[in-house]
């Protein structure tokens, strides 16, 4: 048995697209070619005078955030726009970051989630990154388990310390997974809903895995949660990257024109753009420049709204959080405290068939895994990606020292049993 996909790693992480559905074709047909805008070089020349644009990439585990991030990085590099990255992983290793080219400054925030356990570090990381590297743009890729509202808070708080401008909250929606979770309910579905509500831009990804009628259903679901954000249906997160263009003007205190050219209402998001009705920041009246002063006083209101925001009858995870003095970080953590990780470092090469068998037999509760493995039978190293029962193997030739490691993410799975199975592979 040969691994499902074997592909040579390209220099960039951008993946080739799958077979798009008709709907995706239609959506992508409206996309621009992602050619740099003419004014970008002039923009780069004036970098000392401006606030640093910050874009947040949100979306559930394995939805396609890194796939998007790699495209955005390439887009910036082609325009001489200096980009820096903050990558946050629940596990102890940053596998995605290993394939970002070395000249892109990157801060790794590992072993916790920036929306709760290491939230206070985000401002520090941002400040250090900006002071040291003076980027034009910072991309923040949060963990898929993060509640974006908390990250928005952290970024806007950081704006008290430095000139930054939160422009975009792009939420990548795993189309098939959203659909499946919408039938089951539960905390993960609630988290996905929060991520959609807070988006200024919605990217409904993995359209290649949806039948046309399912695609319609997913779009309706997303639209019910967030009627304002421009929505693009994608395969491999391929979108019109103009929303990330730093010359893409954002009028202070108001939503800019959408990527599709439509106008937005005046209700202000911390990014200056529009978000869904359940996103508490819609009520904050944040605008660029003066938004942040108001923000720190609004935490009680935020907690209050968030705690009462139970669209999901099955979800009792936050039910006790009605106490307004409740700690912010703890509160955020409640929304994904059920998500757990296991990081395993391999002692040596393993058999590819045995490993594939292990992945295929993972319990349903493990919904994401990724890592680097060396196969004894193929004598090559591979990056593997396992997202919702689908596995990809990509042949890699890492530069420098890279460990063989696997990170598993899921809910209440039996860590010991999995650890034992992994150990057996090494025998
Ligand atoms: N079939 C299909 N697979 C996709 C698509 N987009 C991304 N993938 C695959 O889904 C897996 C996860 O993609 P990533 O971009 O790493 O997802 P992520 O959101 O960054 O994942 P985390 O960092 O773990 O939260 C990878 O194997 C991708 O190649 C898509 O449109 N269709």
Name the residue with the closest Cα to ligand 1, atom 12: 62
pLDDT computed for residue 69 by the predictor: 95
Phi/psi for 314 (5° steps) reads -85, -10
| 5 in contact with ligand 1, CB cutoff 6 A | no
Q: What angle, 0 to 180 degrees and rounded to 10, lies between the N-to-C axes of helices 148-158 and 119-133?
A: 50
Query: Which tokens hold the place of 316?
Result: 């009792």
Largest CA distance in the chain: 62
- Mean pLDDT, the chain, integer: 71
Phi/psi for 41 (5° steps) reads -65, -40
CA dist., res. 170 & res. 64, Å (int): 11
| 368 in contact with ligand 1, CB cutoff 6 A | yes
| 66 in contact with ligand 1, CB cutoff 6 A | yes
Among 38-47, 120-129, 305-314, the range with the most confident prediction by mean pLDDT is: 120-129
| 144 in contact with ligand 1, CB cutoff 6 A | yes
The pLDDT tens digits for 75-85 are: 999 999 999 99
Answer yes or no: are the C-beta atoms of 386 and 312 closer than 8 Å.
no
In angstroms, what is the span from residue 61 Cα to ligand 1's centroid?
8
Q: Are strands 52-58 and 6-8 parallel, antiparallel or unpaired?
A: unpaired
CA dist., res. 117 & res. 89, Å (int): 12
The pLDDT tens digits for 219-265 are: 999 999 999 899 999 999 999 998 898 776 443 333 333 333 333 33
The pLDDT tens digits for 101-157 are: 778 998 888 777 766 666 678 888 888 899 999 999 999 998 888 777 778 877 877
| 121 in contact with ligand 1, CB cutoff 6 A | no
**Is 0.90 exceeded by the ipTM?**
yes
- 3-state SS of 137-202 is EEEEECCCCCCHHHHHHHHHHHCCCCCEEEEEEEEEEEHHHHHHHHHHCCHHHHHHHHHHHCCCEE
pLDDT band for position 46 (cuts 50, 70, 90)? low
Lowest mean pLDDT, pick from 103-112, 173-182, 213-222: 103-112
What average pLDDT does this structure show over 343-348? 86
Rg (CA), the chain: 21
> Given the structure tokens 């937005």, which residue do they identify?
264
- 3-state SS of 352-389 is HHHHHHHHHCCCCCEEEEEEEEEECCCCCEEEEEEECC
pLDDT more than 90, % of the chain:
30
Which residue of 12, 67, 210 sits with most ligand 1 atoms within 8 Å of its CB, as the best mutation to test the pocket?
67
- Residues written for the chain: 427
What structural domains does the chain harbor? 12-334 (3.40.50.300), 339-425 (3.30.1220.10)
The pLDDT tens digits for 391-401 are: 999 888 876 67
Higher pLDDT, 294 or 166: 166
Dihedral (C-alpha) 227, 231, 236, 241: value to the nearest 10 degrees?
-130
pLDDT at 351 over 90: yes
pLDDT at 277 over 70: no
Which atom, in ligand 1's list, is nearest to the CA of 392? 27
In angstroms, what is the span from residue 168 Cα to ligand 1's centroid?
20
What average pLDDT does this structure show over 301-308? 32
What average pLDDT does this structure show over 286-314? 31
Which residue of 10, 14, 57, 62 sits with most ligand 1 atoms within 8 Å of its CB, as the best mutation to test the pocket?
62
pLDDT band for position 274 (cuts 50, 70, 90)? low
pLDDT computed for residue 240 by the predictor: 92
Element (H, E) at 54: strand 52-58
Higher pLDDT, 17 or 48: 48
Answer yes or no: are the C-beta atoms of 397 and 92 closer than 8 Å.
no
* CA atoms 243, 88, 85, 34: torsion sign: negative
CA dist., res. 313 & res. 300, Å (int): 24
- Give the bridge partners for 387, in sequence order: 368, 390
| 385 in contact with ligand 1, CB cutoff 6 A | yes
pLDDT computed for residue 297 by the predictor: 26
| 278 in contact with ligand 1, CB cutoff 6 A | no
| 205 in contact with ligand 1, CB cutoff 6 A | yes
| 58 in contact with ligand 1, CB cutoff 6 A | no
pLDDT computed for residue 390 by the predictor: 86
Which atom, in ligand 1's list, is nearest to the CA of 368? 24
Which atom, in ligand 1's list, is nearest to the CA of 207? 31
Answer yes or no: are the C-beta atoms of 148 and 196 closer than 8 Å.
no
Answer yes or no: are the C-beta atoms of 276 and 228 closer than 8 Å.
yes
Higher pLDDT, 379 or 267: 379
Query: Which tokens hold the place of 324?
Result: 């307004």
Which atom, in ligand 1's list, is nearest to the CA of 61? 25
- Give the bridge partners for 382, in sequence order: 373, 395
The pLDDT tens digits for 6-37 are: 233 332 222 223 333 333 333 343 344 555 45
What average pLDDT does this structure show over 265-288? 45
pLDDT computed for residue 55 by the predictor: 93
pLDDT computed for residue 147 by the predictor: 79
Answer yes or no: are the C-beta atoms of 395 and 372 closer than 8 Å.
no
Answer yes or no: are the C-beta atoms of 369 and 407 closer than 8 Å.
yes
Which atom, in ligand 1's list, is nearest to the CA of 15? 29
What average pLDDT does this structure show over 92-106? 75
pLDDT band for position 287 (cuts 50, 70, 90)? very low
CA dist., res. 16 & res. 5, Å (int): 12
Higher pLDDT, 2 or 281: 281
Higher pLDDT, 84 or 328: 84
Which residue of 15, 57, 64, 234 sits with most ligand 1 atoms within 8 Å of its CB, as the best mutation to test the pocket?
64
Higher pLDDT, 289 or 46: 46
């Amino acid at each position: 048995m040969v691994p499902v996909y074997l592909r040579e790693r390209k220099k960039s992480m951008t993946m080739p697209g799958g077979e798009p559905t008709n709907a995706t074709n239609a959506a992508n047909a409206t996309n621009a070619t992602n050619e740099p805008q003419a004014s970008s070089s002039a923009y780069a020349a004036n970098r000392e005078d401006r606030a640093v644009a910050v874009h947040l990439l949100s979306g559930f585990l394995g939805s396609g955030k890194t796939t998007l991030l790699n495209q955005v990085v390439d887009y910036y590099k082609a325009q001489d726009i200096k980009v820096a990255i903050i990558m946050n992983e629940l596990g102890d290793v940053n596998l995605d970051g290993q394939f970002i080219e070395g000249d892109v400054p990157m801060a790794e925030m590992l072993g916790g989630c920036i929306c709760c356990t290491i939230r206070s570090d985000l401002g520090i990381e941002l400040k250090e990154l900006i002071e040291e590297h003076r980027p034009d743009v910072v991309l923040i890729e949060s963990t898929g388990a993060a509640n974006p509202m908390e990250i928005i808070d952290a970024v806007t708080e950081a704006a008290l310390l430095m000139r930054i401008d939160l422009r975009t909250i792009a939420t990548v929606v795993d189309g098939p997974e959203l659909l499946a979770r919408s039938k089951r309910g539960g905390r993960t579905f609630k988290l996905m809903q929060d991520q959609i509500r807070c988006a200024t831009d919605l990217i409904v990804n993995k359209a290649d895995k949806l039948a046309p009628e399912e695609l319609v259903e997913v779009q309706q679901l997303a639209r019910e949660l967030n009627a304002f954000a421009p929505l693009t249906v994608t395969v491999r997160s391929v979108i019109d990257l103009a929303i990330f263009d730093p010359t893409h003007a954002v009028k202070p205190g108001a939503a800019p024109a959408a990527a599709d050219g439509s106008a937005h209402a005046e209700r202000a998001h911390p990014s200056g753009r529009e978000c869904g009705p359940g996103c508490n920041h819609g009520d904050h009246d944040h605008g660029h420049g003066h938004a942040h002063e108001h923000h720190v006083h609004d935490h009680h209101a935020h907690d209050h709204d968030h705690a009462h925001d139970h669209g999901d009858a099955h979800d009792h995870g936050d039910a006790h959080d009605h106490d307004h003095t409740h700690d912010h970080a703890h509160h955020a953590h409640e929304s994904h405290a059920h998500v757990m990780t296991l990081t395993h470092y391999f002692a040596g090469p393993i058999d590819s068939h045995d490993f594939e068998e292990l992945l295929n037999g993972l319990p349903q509760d493990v919904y994401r895994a990724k890592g680097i493995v060396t196969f004894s039978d193929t004598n090559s190293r591979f990056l593997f990606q396992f997202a919702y029962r689908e596995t990809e193997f990509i042949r890699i030739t890492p530069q420098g020292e890279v460990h063989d490691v696997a990170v598993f993410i899921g809910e209440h799975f039996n860590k010991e049993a999995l650890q034992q199975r992994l150990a057996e592979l090494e025998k």
